[in-house]
Amino acid sequence: MSDEEKLSPVEIIKEASNYLRGTIGSELRADTTHFSKPDIQLLKFHGTYQQDDRETRVTSSEGGKSEKSFSFMVRCRIPAGIMTSDHLLAYLDLCDEIGNSTVKVTTRQAIQLHGIIKSDLKKCIRRINDVGQSTLSACGDVNRNVMACPAPYHDGIRPQVQKLAYDLAMHLAPKSKAYHELWLTDDETGEKTLAGGSDEFFEPIYGKVYLPRKFKTAIALPNDNCVDVYTNCLGYIAVIRNGELIGYNVTVGGGLGTTPAIKKTAPMLARRMAFCTPEQAVAVGEAVVKVQRDFGNRGDRKVGRLKYLVASRGIEWFRSKVEEYLGEKLADCTSDDVTEHNDHIGWDQQGDGKWFYGFNVENGRLYDNENRQWKKALRDICTILKPEIRLTAHQSILFCNIEEKDKQKLERLIKGYGLPLSEEISTVRRWSIACVALPTCSLAITESERVLPSVIDEMEVELQKLGLEKEKFTVRMTGCPNGCARPYNADIGLVGKAKGKYTLFLGGTRIGTRLAFVHKDLVPMEQIVPTLKPIFTAFRDLRQPEESFGDFCNRMGNTRLQAFA
């Protein structure tokens, strides 16, 4: 029997779950610190992961065994990263009251809360819904948070792109009543605390077992690929003529997660499939999901992502199936493609007389300590100025709808809590991102978020010496090969391989259209910058006019790069 004919254990769990219910309800009421293995899988669809803090485990007196320190990460679904000041204030309250006192802005324009204990999990999810947010389908084998450029430009294009992100997120969300039954129902009366939830006992798009693996969607603009569209299962690249949005070039089959020891896995960038009109966009998304639902590999989760289906069957076959499910033919892609990446950091005009400010948050972590008070600054900004909040795919925050007269007030609020203005941050730090990794991510092999700042400290010094401090290139670090911070198409990618050691990737691009290659494996963290120094030097001396660092590395090839060392 082939892998595709067998069912993986997770498929069996989903099949028996009664549309994502499992035994979550009874386990929520049980006096335990954690859930059973089947329910751990189902909880992801509801927006939460059970985690174990490896640094706070307790060694028991009986046999010296280490007892796991269980808690939960709760992730929110925020299409295009658009939220309000009240939403952010609610997350700050939750992190202080029942979390680990920090908030994480993710690489997919969402919010994560960490350190939630099991007895507070329902309270956390219910309070998120109380303020009009949701955690449904932020994780799990469904379409996850839909990304789009969050910039608040009144250009006639961005609002349409952002609306498509919302429409896709709502249309492709699970329809099971389980979410409302489990999280938004009063424990004593059984009554819903919030209206909502479908009356359907089936999933019209997903069916009984949902998708074979997670599914990610993003929408980009030709002059701004700030969402890294080619790294997604499904992508839309806006096609604009004479200032009008006439449709999208649709891409399929991107995804960066890999297992290096398993040769059949690999990071892949999406392929261009077809053009669709704005009116077709949601239906095309549904058709792509259904093709993955019916033909994706359910026997081996290592190759269950859409990228493996597209790679094995071919883009022509995949397009024909999408058209079959859609019920009409699609036009070929236009020549339009992504050409630039704007991180939207610093001051910019919206086009309606107001301003927005891109506030760089290093690695997306919001916290307060004796030196820097991110949360206190954000509380004051959201309370006094009440800006609209938008999250970027580079883990930063846009404060929107700022009046001209309030620009200096915003800057004073930032500086008053020991925080740097975005303009005071080095270029290399501004273009760096990192995943959570240790101590809570179960997949983490090495540190990421907690150590990248020190790597950047060292890199800043060398770049300054070489006169390269203004060069724009991406540096992305992950604690494991799953690649949540998108290291495989970055100019410089650092992927955890063994304790304290990383695989160093070079030759990707800031605009996200080319995969990087392995330059060197098992690089100790303290050797990362010394390994890069001779390559930076060669870049300074041998680059072509206007050539980026990633393009230089790609042109040179790894043999020549190694020779520079």
Residues with a known catalytic role = 75, 144, 214, 216, 435, 441, 480, 484
Alpha-carbon gap, residue 106 to 121, rounded angstroms: 20
What is the distance between the alpha carbons of residues 165 and 81, in angstroms, rounded to a whole number? 10
User: Residues 6 or more apart from 128 whose CB is under 8 A from it?
Assistant: 74, 76, 90, 91, 94, 134, 135
Distances (CA, A) of 449 to 258, 365, 498, 521, 554: 20, 9, 16, 20, 27
- Helices 306-313 and 281-295 sit at what angle, rounded to 10 degrees? 80
- Of 364, 359, 522, the closest CA to residue 449 belongs to 364
Structure tokens at 428: 């290399």
Strands (E), 153-298: 217-220, 234-241, 244-252, 271-276
Residue 26: closest CA among 9, 8, 42, 4: 42
Please return the burial class of 158, using the count of CB atoms within 10 Å of its CB with bins 0-12, 13-18 and 19+: buried
Q: How far is CA 421 from CA 213, 346, 362, 377, 414, in A?
A: 40, 8, 12, 12, 7
Angle, helices 374-384 vs 407-415, to 10°: value is: 160
Q: Which two tokens stand for residue 65?
A: 């065994």
E strand or H helix at 29: helix 24-29
Q: For tokens 């329809």, what's the residue?
A: 175
Structure tokens at 49: 């992961």
For residue 127, what are the β-bridge partners? Answer: none
Look up residue 229 and give its two tokens.
């569209």
**Distance between CA 320 and CA 273 in Å, rounded?**
10
Q: How many CA atoms lie within 13 A of 159 on its CB side?
A: 7
Residue 88 Cα to chain centre, angstroms = 18
DSSP characters for 359-416?
Answer: E--GGGEE-B-SS-BHHHHHHHHHHHT--EEEE-TTS-EEEEEE-GGGHHHHHHHHHT
Distance CA 233, CA 252 (A): 5
Pairing of strands 501-506, 492-498: antiparallel
Q: SS3 for 232-265, per residue? A: CCEEEEEEEECCEEEEEEEEECCECCCCCCCCCC
Which DSSP string do the residues of 533-545 spell out, in sequence order?
HHHHHHHHHHPPT
